Amino acid sequence: MSSTSTTARPEIGTHDRRRRRAAMAGFLLVPLAIAGCTGDSGGSGAPAGTSAAAAEASSSPDGSAAGSPAQTLQESYQQVISDVLPSVVEIRTTNGLGSGVVLDEDGNIVTNAHVVGTATEFEVQFANSATSYPATLVGTYPQNDLAVIRVEGAPELQPATLADSDAVEVGTLVLAMGNPLGLSSSVSDGIVSATGRTVSEPPSEAAPAGATLPGTIQTSAAINPGNSGGALVNMQGEVIGIPTLAATSPAGGGGAAPGIGFAIPSNTVKDVAPQLIEDGEVTDTNRAALGVTVTTVADSSGQPAGVGVVGVEPGGAAEAAGLREGDVITAVGDQRVSSTADLSAVLADLEVGQTVDVTVQRAGQEQTLQVELGELAVS
């Protein structure tokens, strides 16, 4: 095997599901783009979760009889929007705009790390208001694509309620609220399509090496540019996730893959945001790590064939297990890994302190080492 010429990338780890109680099953191998590079605009067709109600309503003479399922659903939507939209803000930087969700009456607002980028000052505008207020950066954690900013001088802040995202079920009706394409206070509807997805973000200003997000919620609600950092809300008016990614279609040349978007679960927000607010940084990552610096290596045909170890953290999990520089990792447990992205996805399903078999190629021989996973250091 020959090493690629790419710069060595730091290892990416995962949340500790036992400590955070987050469900993180499986991983999704699809190309992704920053939220808003795909999907329909709000209101462009009924989602799967509303089709039955709409069909039943249309069977009546006027389609809108009092107490009909369609009317009841409509009223529920309107109530949730009325309750939650005041908690969703537009965030503007010199490089663009995104969305955010009010966390508390102190003015702390959670958003995506890729929304804030490297900026430290922002303008925040609330729903149905022409007034904007200054805000400053509290802290950012690109490894989970989350950040917190704090707005100053805004009156009557209405904090959102964060749900227990572990309890979210496939088929749950949801609304995505944000500012897609700069259209403030926009809402789109859909369902939860899947939970526990592990997805990879492309490189961004906040995370030049990209990021791996474990346990995300997949939704059919439209996510477009500007939705990032907004709210994915259930019909109880609770925020179950922060929209962050939309899928792109390889067959379409990287174009839109409608109806496939992803949100960071609210339980991840509950873990990361308080640390950012208290310390300005994440001090306890709750993400498993091997304790190595790695790069993708290729075979003689140029195809990814393993993960080369280019550095071993002194005193870390890998060193304790006997991994060395020059080893090529080809499997973790029963999962084959051909690239650093594969390794990130596999680690996203593991826990800090868990012991796993790591298969390596060393001097032409295959070896299996047992590694007790450590915790990813704050970068």
Rounded distance, CA 212 to CA 193, Å? 20
Structural Rg of the chain based on CA atoms: 22
Rounded distance, CA 46 to CA 51, Å? 6
Q: In the numeric block, which tokens belong to residue 346?
A: 């596999």
CB contact set of 15 (below 8 Å; sequence gap of 6+):
22, 24, 214, 215, 268, 271, 286, 287, 348
How many CB atoms are located within 10 Å of the residue 245 CB?
30
Q: Which among 15, 114, 186, 188 is annotated as catalytic?
A: 114
Asked about 193 being catalytic, the answer comes back as no
Asked about 59 being catalytic, the answer comes back as no
Q: Which amino acid is at 177?
A: M
Q: Which among 184, 228, 266, 338 is annotated as catalytic?
A: 228
Q: Which among 145, 189, 271, 342 is annotated as catalytic?
A: 145
Asked about 145 being catalytic, the answer comes back as yes
Catalytic residues: 114, 145, 228
